[in-house]
Chains A and B, each alone.
Chain A
Amino acid sequence: MENLLQQLLNGVTWGSIYALIALGYTMVYGVLRLINFAHGEVYMMGAMTGYYAARWLGVAGTPSVAGLVGVLIASMIVCGLLGALIERVAYRPLRGAGRLAPLITAIGVSLLLQNAGQLVFGADPKFFPPLLESHEVLRAGEVAISNIQLTVLVTAVLLMGALEYIVQRTRFGRAMRAVSYDAPAAALMGVPVDRVITGTFVLGSMLAAAAGILVGLANPKIDPLMGLMPGLKAFVAAVLGGIGSVPGAMAGGLLLGVIETLVTGYLSSTYRDAIAFVILVLILLYRPTGLFGAPQTEKV
């Protein structure tokens, strides 16, 4: 029982990481109907930027909350800009070019970032500086939660809460929702669609960057290819929750994290990566619109 609780805790922690990344996928899909394959690489850039930012800000050696916050902010800003850049250069020229061309381009951008990352950062793994000293915060029998896990959870919840606020209660969020329901109509109503789309990319990228930092805290070994698997899995999480749905991405991420951890813990760890893909295939077959999505029909 206690082992189960521990597993659930770990699952929810990982799940919140997936959720943060999944939100970027889902929001971009919502406004553009595009699967931004490059998003996993933005997460990787978040971790890498954090690594360099920590050195640059001089907080790499001494753990501190302020240092962590500084690194988070720096990384989120850089990656937000990166997201905007990608949208502007690679996706905007293809607006209205059908569904296939942007998909292929997204794959291209993903490959580009991975390989450029290997060239620029070196292919060898780096060690993310310990911005917080790890220690147990709470213990109830066999179940323990470390301060790092707590930080991850709290940060994720805060960020998701902030996003929810933006989406539901600000003009920008309204504009985003309008564009995702019906972009041409939104444009006719005076919504600055281009800026909304760029803003969506920026928001999603900032969340992914934060996820990268949090992962760096929890699993210090980082490398330029670290975005591949989590990126794909976060995408699965977004589909699981219903691609295009913000609460769906959050739910999907948490669910995927928990399922993955439980299966790995109780069944087998060698198939860990396959779980996400099996879920993906099952979801696509039996409920392609995901848990929170709405079905669509084609007019003949």
Chain B
Amino acid sequence: MLALAALHWLAPLVLNPYYATILARIGIAIIAAVSLQLVNGVTGQFSIGHAGFMGLGAYASAAFSVYLGAALLDSLGASGLVRFLYFPLPLVCGGLVAAAAGLVVAVPTLRLRGDYLAIATLGAGEIIRIAILNVDAVGGARGFSLASASHTAVDLRFESLAGVYAVAAVSVAAIARLVYSGGGLAFRAVREDEIAAESLGVPTTRVKVEAFLVSSFFAGVAGALFAHTEGYIHTNSFGFVRSFELVAFVVLGGLGSLSGAIIAAAVLTAAPELLRGLGEWRMVLYSVLLIATMILRPQGLLGQRELLGLWKSHGAARS
């Protein structure tokens, strides 16, 4: 908590806005990567359309803020306290809309196995993106800006880096707690051997749908954060290229490792921004790295383990 408070007040003083933006993007990438890891790495269901849920969360939360939030803040007076209380609302809104979509996608597609599931999720992600693109109320092909509110005095953007990381911490902790508990073993059991799990009483379809729901909720939250820190969104940021990036984070970090996903997301989001001139080479680097990793070290950075066995000890064994 202390760290967050420090971050909140010191950050704007110490960091120039460029670095603050990068750090915000890292925080958002972490949430998205960990949420995807729950489905792909922990539960073993290969989803490659995750950016669609981020996009839904981004657009839903932006629409919420622009059409409802602005009026709300305007009438309540946009003081620090009011903004602090308002902060979770668009995020939860984004998360819930994304989760609803997750449910709609999950129920029919989780019957499919392996490659077919992956392709179905890719298709779903694209359908979501194209559907959003066709909604004029959120800008369509022009993109959507938080500034288009009719209450122009209100600034809907979130400036606080601490806020982003608070959300990231809560999200990661929630997912970690879900996974590393007695009941959470069900997710990994489904990954390890679905038939055996089912024969031992684990309701595998329900478990998979749950993983999908939780995962898409947090993807939506990440998207909502993105919308509110960037101030302007376009469906181009939520296409399958972004989905593939998230898959890269999850795989390179180690399929099944939450801390691995965090590290990969942080490093791969920060590196190209900081290494100036890398620009167009960023994606080339990603792809080469991805290919090389799959051939030379398919378990990625941490495989299925966690850094410092941190979460494994969290309530799993007493010792």
Contacts and interface: CB of A to CB of B under 8 A. Distances in A.
A119 B284 contact: yes
A285 interface: yes
A284 B116 contact: yes
Given A101-B298, A274-B130, A281-B123, A115 B109 contact: no
A116 interface: yes
A115 B251 CA distance: 20
A118 B280 contact: yes
Given A281-B120, A281-B127, A300-B195, A107 B283 contact: no
B288 interface: yes
Given A274-B127, A281-B124, A108 B290 contact: yes
Contacts of A118: 280
Contacts of B124: 277, 281
A300 B108 CA distance: 24
Given A273-B130, A274-B126, A281-B124, A239 B287 contact: no
A265 to B, nearest CB: 18
A103 B248 CA distance: 12
B123 A115 contact: no
A94 B251 contact: no
Contacts of B195: 300
B295 interface: yes
Chain A interface, DSSP helix/strand/loop, else mixed: helix
A111 B244 contact: yes
Nearest to B140: A270
Nearest to A92: B295
A111 B287 contact: yes
B119 interface: yes
Contact of B116 (A94, A115, A116, A288): A288
A103 B127 CA distance: 21
B165 interface: no
A104 interface: yes
A105 B295 contact: yes
Contacts of B48: 107
B290 A104 contact: yes
B291 A105 contact: yes
B64 interface: no
B224 to A, nearest CB: 24
Interface in B133-168: 133-134
Interface string B237-268: 00011001001100100010000000000000
Nearest to A109: B291
Contacts of B134: 270-271
Contacts of A285: 108-109, 111, 120
Interface string A114-125: 111011000000
Given A232-B122, A273-B126, 6 more contacts: A33-B115, A109-B291, A119-B281, A270-B134, A280-B120, A285-B111
Interface of B: 46, 48, 108-109, 111-112, 114-116, 118-120, 122-124, 126-127, 130-131, 133-134, 195, 240-241, 244, 247-248, 251, 255, 280-281, 283-284, 286-288, 290-291, 294-295, 298
8 contacts: A107-B48, A108-B248, A108-B291, A109-B291, A271-B130, A280-B119, A281-B109, A284-B123
